[in-house]
Amino acid sequence: MDLHGLSLDPKYGGMGTPVSVGLIAFEQISRACVSTSSQIGFFAPIADMIERFCDSDLQEKFIPKIIKGEISGSMCLTEPNFGSDVGSLRTTAERQSNGTYLLNGTKCFITNAGGGLAFILARIKGAPEGLEGVSLFFAEEWLESSEGKLHNYKISKIEEKMGMHGSITCEVVYDNTIARLVGQENQGFGMMVYLMNEARISVGIQGLGLIEASLALARDYAENRKQFGKYLMDLPLYRRNFQDWETERDAFRVLMVDTISFFDIYQRLDLKKRHTEDLSEKEAELFKKASQVIRHRTPLVKYYGAETSATLSQKVIQALGGYGYMNEYSAGRIHRDSFGALLYEGTSQIQALMAMKDFIKSMMKYPANFIQTLVTSHPIGSLMNTSDFDRSLSNVNYEFRKNISALIIRCFRPELSKRVFKKEYWQEAERFDKIMIHAETLCQALAYSETLSILGLHANKDKSRGDLYFRYLKLVTPRFAQIYADWKC
Amino acid sequence: MNYYSDSSEWRYLFKNAIDWENIIPLYKLAFPTSDGFLDQKELIQFYEDLLTSTGKWTGEILTPRAKELDQVGGGYLVDGHVEISEVLQKTY
């Protein structure tokens, strides 16, 4: 199966399909085997990074080989003492007279580090501390010499993990590794953020694959096993639980596919912009909208997909009774594998903090607007809406705004008469500490709201989709109530 | 088992939830295309056929490999580099 080149440019031997097609195929692979999807995920995305950020000689040399499955790559960020805190990395880079750099340091938890190619974050000697001093480098694992192939960096360890055994997680040692600078010095983090966003959306897709795999296994079991004279699926509690799980799967799939669609536009136009800096007026508008949606959605889909796959894959072990605990069935493996998505590319809690930061940032940009919207979004205004879905969504959105406003006012304690409309007031850093403990519940509420909004849009276009909208609303209504109760604590 | 064609939800979302009107022009400037597609409908049908193929391959070939891959692992370390296990190599 020639999967690696599905969405890569035909001039390198790819099929040139839209990214949406490649990502749906990636979901299918994740459903079949999430470990394999992690390995496959370091072919086409590495080619995309080379096409987007590297010079044409590297593009011509490596992208055709990636498409043929001969070589792949890795993204090397994490170090033994620095994970999420990328700005504290200690791998160094020293410029040589021929323009290349020598890298020294150690990276850990690197998926597919033995693929042959590597994008590596390091700090050039003398560069500023923190993220502003981080640069991105490209290195090959092997160097050609008169004595044959020589190691340019070494894999010192393959980690033994609780799950995802098919995905190769490595420790890498750079000892005077020869590397090329990608982009400009000290601009590495921006490029890495691009890749991390793509990777986080891919993790959301892996989550969907895991959910589909788990529930298909459970459905097959429940439709064939009889207890108390009935098939499990016909037992009321079992059926009710199952309906809830499948509702969440179907709703999350809708969120994910809508995100994939925006990501396709964002990624395609980003590539055009980087290479030609020439977007038409329509393309510029599309790019702006897609960029905003992707920025907002990325932490939400990563969080929601990873958390839901871990939760539902555990429920499926229970749904299979004792068999779920036996290795004869794959429920246990799928659950073990689901933990990876909770951790890599930023833990769920990191995603929640990112979502909160973005939300507060957009709110404090125009605090007066936010407060005014609370008044204008009162459900009384929605009585004019003709659609049931619009009216229902309007209520959900109003409740969300009312409750988040109450939380913000409680945490920030603004002096209403004096400073609440001033931007500077909201930018005082110490006020954020109070709200951070609610980041995870805010992320959940944002994910549910976003999903409902898309389901509502679909239902407005096609009435047959209304059933999923109302099933999902029923599922998340008690969750919203719980979240709002948490915000009052 | 086909992970695409056996799922009415996937088929529905592929046709109705992806913004093809805006996406296709970013990949194909005009029809007929140099690779012979007469119009957008025909091109989308081709993409759907591709996903039907990958759906069959993942459902029938890749899924049964997952258990073995879990048992033997993706690779092993030899003198500072990774040798890919036979079962993973089949997928590459």
Taking a C-beta distance cutoff of 8 angstroms, is the pair A326, A311 a contact?
Answer: no
Interface of B with A in 14-73 (CB under 8 A): 14, 16-19, 22-24, 26-27, 35, 47, 50-51, 53-55, 57-59, 61-63, 65-67, 69-73
The residue whose two tokens read 């295309």 is B33
Q: What is the pLDDT of residue B23?
A: 98
From B35, B54, B85, residue closest to A28, measured CB to CB: B54
Taking a C-beta distance cutoff of 8 angstroms, is the pair A40, A3 a contact?
Answer: yes
Examine the pLDDT at B89 and tell me if it is beyond 90.
yes
pLDDT per residue as tens digits for the range A303-329: 999 999 999 999 999 999 999 999 999
Which tokens is A140 given? 């090959």
Neighbours of A163 (CB within 10 A): 18
pLDDT per residue as tens digits for the range A59-81: 999 999 999 999 999 999 999 98
The residue whose two tokens read 């109070």 is A434
Q: Which residues of B touch A24 (CB under 8 A)?
A: 4, 10, 14, 51
Q: What is the pLDDT of residue A87?
A: 83
Average pLDDT over residues A19-23: 97
Average pLDDT over residues A237-250: 96
Q: Which residues of A touch B24 (CB under 8 A)?
A: 18
Letter for the amino acid at B25? P
The residue whose two tokens read 């981080």 is A134
pLDDT per residue as tens digits for the range A331-385: 999 999 999 999 999 999 999 999 998 888 887 777 777 767 766 667 666 666 6
Examine the pLDDT at A279 and tell me if it is beyond 80.
yes
Helix intervals (H) in A320-330: none
Mean pLDDT computed over every residue of chain A: 92
To test the contact with chain B by mutation, choose from A6, A20, A24, A206 the residue with the greatest count of B C-beta atoms within 10 A, namely A24
Taking a C-beta distance cutoff of 8 angstroms, is the pair A141, A118 a contact?
Answer: yes
What does the radius of gyration of chain B's CA atoms come to, in whole angstroms? 19
Interface of A with B in 299-338 (CB under 8 A): 330, 333, 337
Tell me the helix, strand and coil percentages in chain B, rounded to 5: 60, 10, 30
Q: What is the pLDDT of residue A380?
A: 67
Q: Quick check: A39 and B74 CB within 8 A?
A: yes
How near does any CA of chain A get to the CA of B8, in Å? 11
pLDDT per residue as tens digits for the range A34-62: 999 999 999 999 999 999 999 999 999 99
Neighbours of B1 (CB within 10 A): 14
Tell me which of A54 and A190 has the higher pLDDT: A54
> Rounded to an integer, what distance in angstroms lies between the CA atom of residue B1 and that of residue B19?
28
pLDDT per residue as tens digits for the range A401-448: 899 988 888 887 765 555 655 666 656 666 677 888 999 999 999 999
Q: What is the pLDDT of residue A368?
A: 72
Q: What is the pLDDT of residue A86?
A: 81
Kindly state whether A256 is in contact with chain B, defined as any CB-CB distance less than 8 angstroms. Answer: no
From B9, B19, B81, residue closest to A114, measured CB to CB: B81
Q: How far is CA A273 from CA A278, A373, B10, B66, in A?
A: 6, 34, 31, 40
Rounding to the nearest 10 degrees, give the CA dihedral for residues A189, A191, A194, A197.
Answer: -30
Q: How far is CA A172 from CA A1, A88, A164, A192, A273, in A?
A: 30, 18, 19, 18, 34
From B9, B63, B92, residue closest to A253, measured CB to CB: B9
Interface of A with B in 395-424 (CB under 8 A): none
Examine the pLDDT at A134 and tell me if it is beyond 60.
yes
Average pLDDT over residues A282-302: 96
Letter for the amino acid at A34? V
Q: What is the pLDDT of residue A381?
A: 65
